[in-house]
A and B are shown apart, each in its own frame.
Chain A
């Protein structure tokens, strides 16, 4: 054997039953991590094949016949293509590699096969994180590393017996002890500012708010419990009734849906704002939306870094949000927005498609005729209609016909924020009041454990803004009027934590604190934040060089510390003063030229030394006799005599033999 590279005959050894069981367990766990995004029948088929193979090998060792393996090798991609229509993309890819992993198991008979299968399994395991990066999934994937490492351990000799558990311990201990180094490496591995290939996040289903609002569009979103963003305020959080988070402004109504339209140029300056009172700063952790809109508390004063403040005081990121994004924004709650409206904007804010909803137009006309130019009175008329006109809040609103506003106002009278905001804005425009629809989030859930506001997709909301002379754009939320009246008793309008909301609620809060930490600290740790890693130390921006050097230092340090820890051995026996004294004599004799030969007993050694060093002969005889007596005459030599012997040994200084 000449080197570490040399493969051994060991690799061709047949796999024992324990290794194979663990291998099957590993593969099953890997399949489980991928199961959520595989077609259920496909996952089930793979599990069944795995089970069949396990049972087959328990009965009799041996590979599945080659023709069967070949057939499955063709079948797996064919089935995937049949199911997805393409072999490319994230989900078809995951399905194919999962199938191939199970196929690898069918031919795993030797140690080498198992080793390859484990490597393959680890790779596929990591790819499960491309689908979700949640804390739970990450922990699950980390746990699956345990059976994988245990399988590798069983391929080495020296495991006591057939039990499975001892095989897990080296992997578990090593994973735990490698965690600090892994965290450091995670901090220091230089991130790519732009991807090397592919478009990250492409092909994922888009969730969240869209820029088209038609009755019923948001219904699915409003029952989606997943987290949209988390917001921590710099000071006191705004009152619940002020928690409106502005996403985008919709101007154009085409008879059915509200669309962004274009009242002003994209790069026009933001509408003028005159704020009263001080504003509030806050940190937003926005989960990936695959879109460019950002959300800000109504209304933002300035754009955060990397984002643009649009003409209607909405925020837009420079790139689609494919990763968890952090930004710090600043908003004022008491403001006067766009005190003056130019003619183009006024025209856009009064736009209505002709030939739709005659009854609503007529109603708005009557209001206008009654109130004249008192816009506020018309707004009150509309809100009164919603409040006392028999309207109900209902997520399962009945479908609407061609004249959707008329149908809603005079027919079904049931709906949710989209219906109310759309109808209200329509009525305002029909009455000659400039109005527009704003889409975003409203409310949220105050987590008292870590003081942040949790916004879920179900908090998506739409409201209106009307332009009143002298006051500018004023937010009006017709839905809240309806809900307050109709659902106050149910408590659906409550947005704050119920202090004694039960243990389940409290645990959910705590869990979400952990999730928030994960999303902010780990998932959101990007190239930008990495480059600021050393700012506290006075380094302005950490580039690749600094990071690489840091990483190298960490690797070396970790290895060094590890080697130290590993080589530290507990002292096996308590120190033996007699042996120490004897060693001292031996060292001095060796320096004098009389070295103790291997296998030479103490009696012979002392005698020989006395012969070579006649000057010290007397002392040597005395030392030798005393040592032998102490060593062999007692079970436990009296300590005072041992001390005396040690003293003699210290005093013993033989002179070097002159050669």
Chain B
């Protein structure tokens, strides 16, 4: 459905329905674990369901008019069957319990991957769909496989509250949609936007100690959670069918690079943070030690390991 049609449709929604998410209970973040109790599951027919409803009424009128009891019986059967399917959609959600959320690191402007761990109560939730900001993702759960992975937009740096999630199911026939909202009381850290532009980082005296270029990498290794997507060797990964990450030569650490807040006079605040972030990423990718100096005088490094990398990015993300 395109945006205009959606707006038109929304205009026709009963006021109560469109106002539902405004109810305080639905807005207030809740501590994990969050259980989708039956009294917070809503259910309405989908457009296909409304269409079927019209068809059923037509069949009913036809059967009654022609005094055709066989058709009437089957119309009743189809009607009750479709109505009963509403309960299946509802059951697909009922009692669903979100136990933990794990967020992968994400830079501002990218999409953040969230791993939602649901309680394994021995039931399959085959029709589960999770929607954050209009984008729906099917996440069927099985006993023994109750993790769902979704992407949410990360559009501002810093500690962000998790967005409200809409868990829905249209099982089994797509004629009714049951849904419930979950707003976990969790915050995730979004790293600043990576500045693509900008001058090369301020460097030490020796011009030979530049960041090595992209073609001087030492080799490839398997992807590990936390690796920046920008370091993935896509072509090689595609060939192997598995994610590979470029590893750069750490054999000859030169003198640390110095990324100084104050070395960028005149650059506005956010672009400045972005540029520093970009440098940190580049240096980490090149396995070159670096020092980060922030406006409040905090200094990180020199170092070049993952902990240092994440400490720097977190500090940049948390800047006021």
Residues of A within 8 A of B (CB): 1-12, 112, 115-116, 119, 122-123, 126-127, 129-130, 133-134, 137-138, 141-142, 145, 149, 152-153, 155-159, 170-171, 174-175, 177-179, 181-183, 185-186, 189, 191-192, 195-198, 200-201, 322-323, 522-526, 555, 558-559, 562-563, 566-567, 569, 572, 598
Contact = CB atoms under 8 A, between A and B. Distances in A.
B76 A158 contact: no
Contacts of A158: 124-128, 138, 140, 171
Nearest to B52: A119
B173 A153 contact: yes
A556 to B, nearest CB: 11
A348 to B, nearest CB: 38
Nearest to A179: B77
B229 interface: no
A-B pairs, 4 with minimum CB distance = A158-B126, A4-B44, A157-B138, A158-B140
Given A9-B136, A158-B138, A182 B73 contact: yes
30 contacts: A1-B179, A2-B18, A4-B45, A4-B46, A11-B1, A119-B48, A129-B68, A130-B71, A145-B77, A149-B81, A152-B174, A153-B173, A157-B126, A158-B124, A170-B88, A179-B80, A182-B73, A182-B76, A182-B81, A189-B64, A195-B65, A195-B67, A198-B66, A522-B69, A558-B80, A558-B83, A559-B87, A566-B88, A566-B94, A567-B91
Contacts of A1: 131, 134, 136, 166, 168, 179
A133 B68 contact: yes
Contact of B55 (A5, A123, A189, A567): A123
Interface stretch (B5-13, B198-206, B231-239, B267-275): B5-13
B136 to A, nearest CB: 5
B42 A4 contact: yes
Nearest to A125: B74
Contacts of B61: 196
B297 to A, nearest CB: 35
Contact of B175 (A8, A152, A186, A567): A152
Contacts of B85: 170, 174
Contacts of A523: 69-70
A156 B76 contact: no
A284 B62 CA distance: 28
Contacts of B123: 569
| Chain B CB within 10 A, most for which of A122, A156, A174, A179 | A156
Contact of B80 (A112, A127, A182, A525): A182
Interface in B37-96: 38, 42-48, 50-52, 55, 58-81, 83-85, 87-88, 90-91, 94-95
B232 to A, nearest CB: 27
B20 interface: yes
B6 A525 contact: no
B13 A191 contact: no
Given A130-B71, A183-B76, A191-B64, 4 more contacts: A1-B134, A126-B75, A133-B69, A186-B73
A189 B76 contact: yes
Nearest to A132: B70
A8 B77 contact: no
Given A156-B170, A566-B90, A6 B6 contact: yes
B258 interface: no
Contacts of B94: 566-567
Q: Binding site of A, secondary structure by majority: helix, strand, loop or mixed?
A: helix
A145 B72 CA distance: 14
A138 B74 contact: yes
Nearest to B121: A572
Contacts of A174: 81, 84-85, 88, 172
A175 B76 CA distance: 11
Most chain A C-beta atoms within 10 Å of own C-beta, residue among B13, B71, B125: B71
Contacts of A567: 38, 91, 94
A179 B77 CA distance: 6
| B43, B51, B62: residue with the most chain A Cβ atoms closer than 10 Å | B62
Contact of B83 (A116, A145, A201, A559): A559
Given A185-B79, A523-B69, A5 B134 contact: no
B32 interface: yes
B218 interface: no
A4 B46 CA distance: 6
B172 A152 contact: yes
B46 to A, nearest CB: 6
Contacts of B161: none
Given A175-B81, A191-B64, A3 B18 contact: yes
B176 interface: yes
Contact of B129 (A157, A181, A559, A562): A157
A558 B174 CA distance: 21
Nearest to B165: A1
A4 to B, nearest CB: 3
Contacts of B84: 174, 177-178, 181, 558, 562
Given A198-B65, A523-B69, A4 B172 contact: no
B91 A566 contact: yes
B193 interface: no
A169 to B, nearest CB: 9
A570 to B, nearest CB: 9
Nearest to A564: B87
B174 A137 contact: no
B140 to A, nearest CB: 4
Contacts of A141: 70, 74
A182 B80 CA distance: 6
Contacts of A9: 1, 136
Contacts of B175: 152
Contacts of A7: 1, 5-6, 9, 46-47
Contacts of A129: 63, 68, 70-71, 74
B64 A2 contact: no
A204 to B, nearest CB: 11
Contact of A126 (B69, B71, B88, B172): B71
B253 interface: no
Contacts of A186: 69, 72-73, 76
